[in-house]
Amino acid sequence: MVSAGVVGHTLWTSAAPALTYGLYAEQWRLTHTVTAGLFAIYPISVVVMLVGFGGISDQIGRRATMLAGLFASLAGALLFAVAPDVWWVFAGRALMGIGVGLAAGPSTAAVLEFTSPARAKSAASITMGAQATGFAAALLIGGVLTEYGPWPTRLCFWILAILLVILLAGTWLLPRQAAGGAAGDRRSRMPFVPKDVRRAFAVSSTAMMAAYTFGVLVLSLGGQVEHDLIGSPNAFLNSAVLSLFPVVMAATGLIFRTLSPRVALIVGALVSALSMALLILAVNLRHLVIYLLATAAAGGAYSLLFVGGLQVISAAVAATYRGGTLSALYLLGYLSMGALALILGAIASTRGLGFAVDIGAVAIILMNVATLVLATTASTISRSAAPP
């Protein structure tokens, strides 16, 4: 449960400032460039940590690495909670990125390793459920406190800080684990994919990239679409609509947790393509109901792609390299998300929001085609059929 909580915190910290950026811009009269920088510093920090220290938990253990990540996230949340100016927010967002970069891979590996062999197949569903819970909580709690609570730019971060203190205490009490067998290998500090699992990694990584790039269209550009379609200044109403994505994500994981990895990936890729087609229709027709259907379908597709991909790679990789391999998986997910956000943001500024959404949807559909091809290749998942 503690490891799942650490997984959940990675999505909570990711979404926590989503509803406060506009308030910062109004309060401190920030330019669009500064606001864009606040968005960008987080994935940059995550990627830097994953590149430099993605496999460190295979050396020093999952518990120690998760503690370091939680301390960094706590420091970031506290900076947000007391920030007197935008530079404190920049520092806080960078620290949150450092915390997530350190904790994402080890916490996922810990969920797999602390799960009993009899329930090994459900470990991926537990991980996805923790992500969905953290995501939904950040949006809903943030929306309520931003709209109706005192100190709208501070209180939600004090709540996050309290959660992180609880997680730190729980993680401190976890059993100490011996470091992996690669402790003397310098490259084990970095994300590393052993040769014998690279085919399985290809399947998992295409699914992960397709899933993570949903965040750009559903929460970044899609957030602007949703705001235009609803036309409400109410932060809680807007956050409730956005939370449809993680709610469907969690429900899909529970209902379809018994699917084989191959079936989950195939169905997830097909549903993902459908959701992108619906999103294109919603933007071009300016239709709120179609947008809600697209968001729900994207949430279900994320769940299937993430769980299927995680089952494939966790079954294929040895525990010695699990932390580094999972960090490599997250690295590609965050890189694809950040790159697509920058590209589509530039397109939206020059060619309009609708055209940017069309381009992004086509890019995700192409990722789904790659996932389908790899998932339907017989030799790709044959080694991953057995439980980890």
CA distances to 217, 284, 300, 323, 368 from 354, in Å: 11, 7, 23, 39, 21
82 contacts: CB under 8 Å, gap ≥ 6: 88, 154
- Amino acid letter for position 233: P
How many whole angstroms separate alpha carbon 307 and alpha carbon 256? 10
For residues 233 and 358, the answer to whether their CB atoms sit within 8 Å is no
How many whole angstroms separate alpha carbon 299 and alpha carbon 294? 9
For residues 222 and 347, the answer to whether their CB atoms sit within 8 Å is no
Containing 24, the helix (H) or strand (E) segment is: helix 21-28
Q: Which CATH architecture has domain 2-177+184-375?
A: Up-down Bundle (1.20)
| Radius of gyration from C-alpha coordinates of the chain | 20
Distance in Å from the first CA to the final CA of the chain: 19
Per-residue pLDDT at 255: 85
| Count of all residues that appear for the chain in the document | 388
pLDDT, averaged in runs of 10, over the chain (388 residues): 84 81 80 69 85 81 91 95 92 93 85 64 75 86 85 90 94 72 51 80 89 75 66 76 87 85 93 93 86 91 89 79 81 83 79 86 92 78 46
- Enumerate the domain spans of the chain: 2-177+184-375
